[in-house]
Amino acid sequence: MSEKTSHTPGTFCWIDLGTPDQDAAGDFYGALFGWRLKEDENAEQTGGYRTAELEGKAVGGVMKLMQEGQPPAWLNYVCVEDADATVARARQAGAAVHAEPMSVLDYGRMAILADPTGAAFGVWQPGVHKGADIVGEPGAMSWSELNTRDPEAAKSFYGNVFGWSFEEKEYDRGAYSIISINGEGIGGVTDRLPAEAPAHWLVYFAVEDADATLKQAEERGAEIPTGPFDIAEVGRIAVVKDPWGALFAVIQPDPSMQPG
């Protein structure tokens, strides 16, 4: 497994799901990815937060919706050294701050923002909680993708805030920008999103068999709004809407790109 004991600042380190039904979501994602939900030992202080574990390793979180009218959604967190300084820099660059920096016990310090194009994301300054224990393996997050109608504004913003650089690529489905930090590709930026969809970050989960995973998802009440489709030297991809409306993607990596 690709286990992590720390995350480089500027990389994605955590994800969590806001959902109206933690138990049912646990069953749904457990069937797809093999997760088990574990209630936080300080649940009363963390709003009933639960950690999604894969073979006993943390891969993300599942939480109750906290506000009336809040849509079910996955939130991607970027690791930072100083949440307060990052939020100040982001605000100056045009971000909206939905949740000011706050400490979560001794786990870490977090904030929730939206970039100038409207896509929400979180920042996480690690304390005793470093982030996901596993990334890039079946059942764990493997990629984060910004879907926005103004890629250039978004790239300028994230470059200023996190020091990201961007490499322009051309695939079968069109142009795509690869996000890099310190030479490591960590995500992408695209302007291909439905007319009715707001700008958003999309988390990708690696799977061994995309078609089998999608069949399982549909049998459990999910919809497949996009895909599956194949991209050479990338993999087989589909976007899934879970039974409560939260979007995520699955990717079965192209075997030619796997080590060994």
**Does residue 258 register a pLDDT over 60?**
no
CA distance 43 to 32: 25
The mean per-residue pLDDT over the stretch 54-82 comes to 95
User: In this predicted model, what pLDDT tens digit does every residue of 92-127 receive, in sequence order?
Assistant: 999 999 999 999 999 999 999 999 999 999 999 999
For the segment(s) 12-126, the CATH number from 3.40.1500.10, 3.30.420.40, 3.10.180.10, 3.50.50.60 is: 3.10.180.10
User: In this predicted model, what pLDDT tens digit does every residue of 197-234 receive, in sequence order?
Assistant: 899 999 999 999 999 999 999 999 999 999 999 998 89
Torsion angle defined by CA atoms of residues 17, 122, 182 and 158, in that order, rounded to the nearest 10 degrees: 120
With CA atoms as reference, report the closest residue to 153 among 123, 115, 186, 114.
115
- Quote the pLDDT of residue 238: 98
pTM over 0.75: yes
Same topology for domains 12-126 and 141-257, yes or no?
A: yes
With CA atoms as reference, report the closest residue to 200 among 121, 122, 110, 113.
121
For the chain, which residues make up each domain, given as ranges?
A: 12-126, 141-257
- For 227, the enclosing helix (H) or strand (E) is strand 223-231
Residue-averaged pLDDT of the chain = 95
User: In this predicted model, what pLDDT tens digit does every residue of 118-132 receive, in sequence order?
Assistant: 999 999 999 999 999
> Token digits for 187?
């995500």
Provide Rg for the chain, Cα atoms: 17
CATH topology for 141-257?
Answer: 2,3-Dihydroxybiphenyl 1,2-Dioxygenase; domain 1 (3.10.180)
> Token digits for 222?
């999910």
